Chains A and B, each alone.
Chain A
């Protein structure tokens, strides 16, 4: 019964974006990630290895607005929830998501010393932009949606694929990115959180590609069904 109630507004969102639209969304977010790296390198002449905390800060500060702007367009229940409210709640989502990510990282073994605190903070903001922010912009505080998408892994509609799969991609990528850290190669990128960042960004992009192909595949599937 509950499910039935929820279904209506969601299907209306799902229709609001096509695979092509998703592709453009990904293109823009990817572009801004690249812009972030470009700004860091050309304007501040640092990189992830030489100054991780500054780089990460610039990255999430550039990436965050664009993610919010795009995903707020696809907010669920757009009649009741204004665009600005969606933007506002995604700021809350950014902070709480960062806290969750930071706690997760610490429990997995991220350094907790004072000198690595800024790195951890900015890393978790970036992770939050990848994982939590799109979902808050779209779902808001609707726990059932969160639960259905993230815990039960039952997304419906393209926008939910766009939220779910890159987020999991970023987390799994970050998890694998942590593996080279203990090796004694003594490379500067083995420091926390550099390779985890690379892993997360890589996983995020892979997640985008996977979700894109999934969308295309599902649409074809649907068309076949319809036919």
Chain B
């Protein structure tokens, strides 16, 4: 017998291991992670590079003083623009900006930003329209992070700070501040969340309300125009949200969208006229660059987040207030041209958003962010490069030729610094990250870089140093070759980074999924193994069939995003269905009708609680519309109601104390000391409950216990005591289990002791709803047990044998635990975590401690209590040793069944995530669901191991 029980523990541990391995493999393929490095670039770094630290001497610059005066402001490269205005128009599709000639057919929303087209396609223009490619995930926050860090933010950037989204990685904004540039920001408050301290002045407006099309935009324009006349800033960021919101609410093809675009056109017209009026020599905007860009695109329905062409293709308009910019050599020109309706040649170029940070850093002459993997875009760089005083040689063809050469000289040096910086990042990353790049990839990249660098030190560097190099053609081709070598290096770096950070590894995903499916089959076999009379009901019993049906229908429901959003409601629907079935059954057997009705009533109460949770979720989720179906029209400020709300949790804590008292009073108190010990442990929980009630009573104003908290020394004292009692209880239980292996009876007492020990911290962390939920949970568990007993009683099993276990009761318990998760106000998203719970009892932040508290709060009811409380479902009375061992076998099967139910739903989630990996909501909805499910499964397996160690 003992060896058999040991096997059981091994089986539980085995499943934990298999699941962990499967999930680990799947996660490596699906959840792309990237380690954030804490390093920052500084100006002095550049001396380590092989490149020219001072700007290359100009052919035409005969005045050495001007160089030295310039080099005071030079960081990595010579600055080419003085000020930058970045206007971000959220969710700007490419066809909002580019002329309709570029698209198969003109649509009503095209050609609305006419001012940009007019400027870009004017003769002698210093403006350009780019088609900009964003990298998924195309959500504003991730995109702003990508734009400013020059990297590829993934779903989980390891190193994210706890709760707050502020960017800790080195970024463009940070570099600006470091180099003494002054920043002004207006618009979307995401910027101030990401960069809490960097802006000298900021006018943030809440981006929260999607239905509000105008607040952010009006706030932006109100501050934008006055700021343009001021000289106390170097970089201005204005982030308009109207187009994004109009898309979310009305879609692209709608009149609010067109109104928004027309409004932006007039705003931009005004901005440009202000810039042009101050663009003269010595003017405020003598050398300013205006960039109008989208952070991502959107689909025609206004959705974004995924990686479809409509979402990743956004646009960028760049304009320099200086005229006569250098033209880019055709080798590096990415523009595509079309004839417009007037027969005029119009061209738009293309750019990767990845290159934004590096290019702007080069334009402003600051060091580029440490983690940037983009390169300086030739065309955007050329727009600003009119700064080199070329007025002297501005005569005919020769002038342009030399201008091109001049540009190339600068560009090749900029690229050299750029390449050195990217190489440095890649090296440091692969050395310090947990999952770095493979050595093959690294070797390939190093070869490319080494070749380019060799060429640089051997020839190009000397050509640049050489002040009097006149042999134009050889120089030009050498430069071009060098630029091409660098660009080759960059493209292979970016390709590698993309494959690492934005592409799923389907092989790993399928392997992980396959392992999980195999483990599922084994688990099923274990559950239904052994045709003993007391085993789980055989294959064809109605209970088993119905359980299978419920599990299947729940698993299938995860294939649709709608059901994932309303998972709580679905689980409750199924729970109530099982309740109805049981009601019919108990009516049939003419017993336990009361229990069945109570169970249904609890299900109804839970659904109201779940509805409340859903409205909370809808408030923050961009995928849900709130449906206040639960509002009964009762004024919530009735004094009697507030009184009831204050008093109900405390009353239910008192009831819980009474229940515990009854539970331990019933068990025989005589016997060995260790039986008494389980009782003392339970008494500890009663003290904890009492303390919790005391804490809540003192927090509410009704009882007049306000002074109590001061007396006992702060509001953290009680929670800490409760945690301490809980830990001592667990310690006692574990040691009692270890040293008093002899007794195997009275395990109902043991269950009570363990569950009550775990429940007090869970209730405390869940807040005032906790005690109510615990009471509902207990009552529902009792009802399930009694209803399960219907069959046992009616079968008249008088031979002290346990009847077969109906798997339906385990399914009910599992559904109940899921309902508890949602009813306690959680949902499967990271904003559904209740960060406040991590600070119950503690003021300062310690990562591990707070993470444990948060885990207990999140999974307390749904996993911890439900796994440990599973023995509640077994009827208490059966006295003979034979029945006892049978019961233990049955309990083990119940645990296996519980595990298999959880594993099935997780497998369904994983299948769904695999199928929907290119879905629009993959990062917003499926991935968080996946993370919650997977963590839940591992935790369930782990707790089943612990429980089987404890109970067997």
Most chain B CB within 10 A, of A107, A114, A178, A182, is at A107
Task: Report the nearest B residue to A114, measured CB to CB.
Answer: B633
Produce 1/0 per residue, A106-124, CB < 8 A to B. 1111011110100000000
Is the C-beta of B312 less than 8 angstroms from some C-beta in chain A? Answer: no
Complex CA distance for A151 and B590, rounded to whole angstroms:
10
Is the C-beta of B679 less than 8 angstroms from some C-beta in chain A? Answer: no
Could you say which residues of chain B place their CB within 8 Å of the CB of A152? 588
Find residues 558-595 in chain B having any chain A CB closer than 8 Å to their own CB. Answer: 560-563, 565-566, 569-570, 572-573, 576-577, 579-580, 584-585, 587-588, 590
Of the candidates A109, A112, A147, which one forms a contact with B632 in the assembled complex, judged by CB atoms under 8 Å apart? A112
* Cβ contact within 8 Å between B607 and A113: no
* Cβ contact within 8 Å between B628 and A108: no
* Cβ contact within 8 Å between A183 and B560: yes
Could you say which residues of chain B place their CB within 8 Å of the CB of A107? 576, 579-580, 600-601, 603-604, 607
Is the C-beta of A42 less than 8 angstroms from some C-beta in chain B? Answer: no
Complex CA distance for A116 and B601, rounded to whole angstroms:
20
Is the C-beta of A83 less than 8 angstroms from some C-beta in chain B? Answer: no
Is the C-beta of A184 less than 8 angstroms from some C-beta in chain B? Answer: yes
Is the C-beta of B67 less than 8 angstroms from some C-beta in chain A? Answer: no
Produce 1/0 per residue, A164-185, CB < 8 A to B. 0000000000010010001110
* Cβ contact within 8 Å between A113 and B628: yes
Chain A min CB distance to B346 (Å) = 39
Could you say which residues of chain A place their CB within 8 Å of the CB of B643? none
* Cβ contact within 8 Å between B576 and A113: no
* Cβ contact within 8 Å between A182 and B604: no
Is the C-beta of A104 less than 8 angstroms from some C-beta in chain B? Answer: yes
* Cβ contact within 8 Å between A109 and B569: yes
Is the C-beta of B164 less than 8 angstroms from some C-beta in chain A? Answer: no
Produce 1/0 per residue, B595-617, CB < 8 A to A. 00000110110011000000000
Of the candidates A112, A114, A183, A184, which one forms a contact with B608 in the assembled complex, judged by CB atoms under 8 Å apart? A112
Complex CA distance for A182 and B561, rounded to whole angstroms:
10
Produce 1/0 per residue, B400-427, CB < 8 A to A. 0000000000000000000000000000
Complex CA distance for A69 and B630, rounded to whole angstroms:
39
* Cβ contact within 8 Å between B629 and A147: no
Complex CA distance for A147 and B588, rounded to whole angstroms:
7
Is the C-beta of B631 less than 8 angstroms from some C-beta in chain A? Answer: yes
Complex CA distance for A123 and B890, rounded to whole angstroms:
44
* Cβ contact within 8 Å between A112 and B584: no
Could you say which residues of chain A place their CB within 8 Å of the CB of B565? 182, 184
Known A111-B629, A175-B577: A182·B569 in contact at CB below 8 Å:
yes
Complex CA distance for A116 and B590, rounded to whole angstroms:
35
Could you say which residues of chain A place their CB within 8 Å of the CB of B600? 103, 107
Chain A min CB distance to B823 (Å) = 13
Find residues 626-655 in chain B having any chain A CB closer than 8 Å to their own CB. Answer: 627-633
Known A114-B632, A183-B562: A104·B580 in contact at CB below 8 Å:
yes
User: How many interface residues does A have (CB within 8 Å)?
Assistant: 20
Known A147-B587, A182-B569, A182-B570: A109·B576 in contact at CB below 8 Å:
yes
Q: Is the interface of A mostly helix, strand, loop or mixed?
A: helix
Most chain B CB within 10 A, of A108, A111, A116, is at A108
Chain A min CB distance to B950 (Å) = 35
Known A107-B603, A113-B631, A113-B633: A184·B561 in contact at CB below 8 Å:
yes
* Cβ contact within 8 Å between B632 and A113: yes
* Cβ contact within 8 Å between A109 and B573: yes
What is the number of contacts between chain A and chain B, taking CB atoms within 8 Å? Answer: 63
Known A111-B629, A151-B584, A184-B562: A106·B577 in contact at CB below 8 Å:
no
Could you say which residues of chain B place their CB within 8 Å of the CB of A184? 561-562, 565, 623
Chain B min CB distance to A202 (Å) = 19
Could you say which residues of chain A place their CB within 8 Å of the CB of B628? 113
* Cβ contact within 8 Å between B630 and A182: no
Could you say which residues of chain B place their CB within 8 Å of the CB of A116? 629
Task: Give the contact-size bracket for chain B.
Answer: 20 to 34
Could you say which residues of chain B place their CB within 8 Å of the CB of A103? 600
Complex CA distance for A46 and B563, rounded to whole angstroms:
31
Complex CA distance for A150 and B630, rounded to whole angstroms:
32
Produce 1/0 per residue, A97-108, CB < 8 A to B. 000000110111
Complex CA distance for A50 and B112, rounded to whole angstroms:
38
Could you say which residues of chain A place their CB within 8 Å of the CB of B627? 111
Chain A min CB distance to B293 (Å) = 31
Complex CA distance for A111 and B572, rounded to whole angstroms:
13
* Cβ contact within 8 Å between A109 and B607: yes
Produce 1/0 per residue, B311-352, CB < 8 A to A. 000000000000000000000000000000000000000000
Could you say which residues of chain B place their CB within 8 Å of the CB of A112? 608, 629-630, 632
Known A107-B604, A108-B577: A113·B562 in contact at CB below 8 Å:
no
Task: Report the nearest A residue to B567, measured CB to CB.
Answer: A182
Chain A min CB distance to B50 (Å) = 56
Of the candidates A106, A111, A151, which one forms a contact with B604 in the assembled complex, judged by CB atoms under 8 Å apart? A106
* Cβ contact within 8 Å between B588 and A108: no
Could you say which residues of chain A place their CB within 8 Å of the CB of B560? 183
Of the candidates B561, B563, B629, which one forms a contact with A113 in the assembled complex, judged by CB atoms under 8 Å apart? B629
Chain B min CB distance to A164 (Å) = 12
* Cβ contact within 8 Å between A108 and B562: no
Chain A min CB distance to B626 (Å) = 12
Chain B min CB distance to A154 (Å) = 10
Find residues 16-74 in chain A having any chain B CB closer than 8 Å to their own CB. Answer: none
Could you say which residues of chain B place their CB within 8 Å of the CB of A182? 562-563, 565-566, 569-570
Could you say which residues of chain B place their CB within 8 Å of the CB of A178? 573
Chain B min CB distance to A135 (Å) = 14
Chain A min CB distance to B250 (Å) = 14
Produce 1/0 per residue, B928-945, CB < 8 A to A. 000000000000000000
* Cβ contact within 8 Å between B587 and A151: yes
Complex CA distance for A175 and B570, rounded to whole angstroms:
12
Complex CA distance for A212 and B603, rounded to whole angstroms:
36
Complex CA distance for A182 and B572, rounded to whole angstroms:
13
Could you say which residues of chain A place their CB within 8 Å of the CB of B572? 108-109
Complex CA distance for A206 and B780, rounded to whole angstroms:
35
Chain A min CB distance to B301 (Å) = 11
Complex CA distance for A113 and B628, rounded to whole angstroms:
8
Task: Report the nearest A residue to B607, measured CB to CB.
Answer: A109
Complex CA distance for A104 and B563, rounded to whole angstroms:
21
Could you say which residues of chain B place their CB within 8 Å of the CB of A109? 569, 572-573, 576, 607
Chain A min CB distance to B556 (Å) = 10
Could you say which residues of chain B place their CB within 8 Å of the CB of A113? 628-633
Could you say which residues of chain A place their CB within 8 Å of the CB of B601? 107
Chain A min CB distance to B417 (Å) = 50
Task: Report the nearest B residue to A180, measured CB to CB.
Answer: B562
Chain A min CB distance to B584 (Å) = 6
Could you say which residues of chain B place their CB within 8 Å of the CB of A150? 584, 587
Complex CA distance for A183 and B569, rounded to whole angstroms:
12
Could you say which residues of chain B place their CB within 8 Å of the CB of A147? 587-588, 590
Task: Report the nearest A residue to B580, measured CB to CB.
Answer: A104
Find residues 172-206 in chain A having any chain B CB closer than 8 Å to their own CB. Answer: 175, 178, 182-184
Complex CA distance for A211 and B948, rounded to whole angstroms:
50
Produce 1/0 per residue, A70-102, CB < 8 A to B. 000000000000000000000000000000000
* Cβ contact within 8 Å between B632 and A108: no
Chain A min CB distance to B303 (Å) = 11
Chain B min CB distance to A100 (Å) = 11
Could you say which residues of chain A place their CB within 8 Å of the CB of B577? 108, 175
Could you say which residues of chain B place their CB within 8 Å of the CB of A104? 580
Task: Report the nearest B residue to A171, measured CB to CB.
Answer: B580
Q: A107-B600, A182-B570 are in contact. List 18 more A-B contacts (CB 8 A).
A: A104-B580, A106-B604, A107-B601, A109-B572, A109-B607, A111-B630, A113-B628, A114-B632, A116-B629, A147-B588, A150-B584, A175-B577, A182-B562, A182-B569, A183-B560, A183-B563, A184-B561, A184-B623
User: What are 7 A-B pairs with beta-carbon distances under 8 A?
Assistant: A107-B601, A112-B629, A150-B584, A175-B577, A182-B566, A183-B563, A184-B565
For the complex of A and B, the 10 pairs showing the least CB-CB separation, nearest first, are A111-B629, A151-B588, A182-B566, A107-B604, A114-B633, A151-B587, A183-B562, A184-B562, A107-B576, A108-B576
